[in-house]
Amino acid sequence: MPFVLGRLMRYAPRAGLLAGLDVTGILAAYLLAYQLRFGEWASPFSGSLWILVVVAILALYVMDMYRMDDSRDPVRFSGDALVAAFVIAAASVFVVYLFGKEQYDPIFGRGALPVALTLFAIWAALSRWLFAKWYQRTSGVIHWLMIGSEESVARFNQDIQATAARTAPSRDVPRFEAKTRIHEIESWIREHPERSCIVHADSLAPEVKSINPAQSPAPILSVTGYYEQYWKLLPVDHLEEDMLHLIRRNLTHKRAGFRVKRLVDCLIAVVLLIGVSPLMLLIGVMIRLHSPGKVIYRQQRVGLDGEVFTLYKFRTMFEDAEKSGVQWTDADDPRITRLGGVLRASHIDELPQLWNLILGNMSLIGPRPERPEFVSLLQREIPHYLVRHIVPPGITGWAQVKYPYGSSVEDARHKLEYDLYYIKNHTLRLDMTIVIKTAMVMLKRLGR
């Protein structure tokens, strides 16, 4: 109990400070937007204004914007704040038009609200970047310990370096010390009472069992737990059976949530199909004029529980692209048409998969479905590969926004690690983050 209270006291002031900054930013943004729009200052005690403050704070809380620890770096924290700002905008618009307050309160007017939300998005991102920088500077150096031999810890450090190079080149990478004897571990804990973390590869090892978590200020994580908390992935080479059991058990408890998600998928698909049908018609005409062949490309993919289904997408390659057999798409693949390159870069080629959502073959968010020929190869080469089939495949997913386009077994291995993280940690907040990050990728044309 003292340990839990100590951690609560450590984190509560940070959350309170961030919340204070947010309230200040929201009020300032709305008052300034009101001044710019109407040429006068609104009252900071307006009940309508404080409704929006509450909506913003709740949205930030749901998006986990009040947790500040060693797993968050300034760039990612500020980026997450921008994602949260989109959620605040959606929630604010929902509240405004649900109650129709724009009819009698200028604070909710279309002239002031967008400006205020934009100003607050900038404030939220900048304040969290500065807060994370301040936290890093004032908190001191983090001390890392891994219980294991010098050789095993050296390999672990190399793996972390490789992970950082793939996913976050600008992020500071920890260097773990190696300890194997109980008295050395106990001495290390006494020397580093604050800002420390202990990682182990075997929870049943005597060295690990000798540590009393209630008396150690340092968090004690497995290798899998470390990667999950600090890198948002589950390494396939370190997955234990109890972790796989936990993943499946969590899904059992989330069945009702997945049924709701299925209904939401259908609703979104219908709305989007109606909204983008003119664009899809235009793209179909352009494909037909650009190169001979069918407009819609049909391809067999492996979905939920290993069942094979037909996936639909706009054709982006020449008609005889696979005359030599099934193969991965490479960078600057000559089989891709010029128009197809644009469609793939913006992911517009995947719009026909909205029909797959209606049919129930796919979800909006989940692991990307692979072709049966690749699945046969990957399940032999990659441990636990078939675990990704215990949830419906998605049009976009955590792996798609965290890892670049893959065209090899090694790429598929790394993407699986992000897919497993999504399956284990699936929440509405994570889904919302993926949707917004996917939209940002599409706008920046980072895909191919």
Phi and psi, residue 297, nearest 5°: -100, 130
Q: What does the pLDDT read at residue 295?
A: 92
268-318 per-position pLDDT tens digit: 999 999 999 999 999 999 999 988 889 999 999 999 999 999 999 999 988
- Residues 164, 349: Cα–Cα separation, whole Å: 31
- Residues 303, 394: Cα–Cα separation, whole Å: 9
Q: What does the pLDDT read at residue 108?
A: 62
Residue 336: both structure tokens together: 């891709």
Domains of the chain in sequence order: 2-139 (no CATH), 143-231 (3.40.50), 251-444 (no CATH)
**Coil, helix or strand for 390?**
helix
- Residues 191, 265: Cα–Cα separation, whole Å: 53
Q: What does the pLDDT read at residue 139?
A: 65
Residue ranges of the chain with per-residue pLDDT less than 50: 1-9, 102, 104, 446-448
Q: What does the pLDDT read at residue 379?
A: 93
- How much is the pTM? 0.77
As a whole number of Å, the CA-based R_g of the chain is 25
Residues 296, 352 contacting (CB under 8 angstroms): yes
307-355 per-position pLDDT tens digit: 999 999 999 988 877 777 777 777 677 888 889 888 888 888 999 999 9
- Residues 359, 425: Cα–Cα separation, whole Å: 26
